Chain A
Amino acid sequence: MYTTDQYEGMLAETVVLPGYHADLINAYFARPLGQGPFPGMVLIHHLPGWDEWYRETARKFAAHGFVTLCPNLYFRDGHGTPEDVAARVRGAGSVSDEQVLGDIGAALEMVLASPYVNGKVGLFGTCSGGRHAYLCACRIPGFSAAVDCWGGRVVMTPQELTPKQPVAPVDYTADLSCPVLGIFGNDDQSPTPEQVDQLEEALKRHGKSYEFHRYDGAGHGFFYHNRPNYCQEQAVDGWNKVFAFLDKTLKGA
Chain B
Amino acid sequence: MCTMIAQQVSINGSGKAGEGWFRLDTASVSYDHPFDMPLEYTLNLDFTKQAGNPGARVAVELDAASARKLVEVIQEVMKIAEDGGFVS
Contacts and interface: CB of A to CB of B under 8 A. Distances in A.
A79 interface: yes
A85 B35 CA distance: 12
A90 B32 contact: yes
Contact of A90 (B28, B39, B40, B55): B28
A228 interface: yes
B38 interface: yes
Interface string A223-253: 0000111000000000000000000000000
A221 B48 CA distance: 28
B74 to A, nearest CB: 20
Interface string A107-145: 000000000000000000001100000000000000000
Interface residues of B, number: 24
A47 interface: yes
Nearest to B6: A90
Contacts of A220: 2, 33, 40
Contacts of B39: 228
Nearest to B32: A90
A128 B2 contact: yes
Contacts of B46: 87-88, 90-91
A228 B38 contact: yes
B54 A90 contact: no
Interface of A: 47-48, 77-81, 83-88, 90-94, 127-128, 152-153, 160, 162, 165, 189-190, 219-221, 227-229
Given A48-B35, A190-B3, 14 more contacts: A80-B53, A83-B59, A84-B53, A84-B54, A88-B48, A90-B30, A90-B32, A91-B46, A127-B2, A153-B4, A220-B2, A221-B33, A227-B38, A228-B38
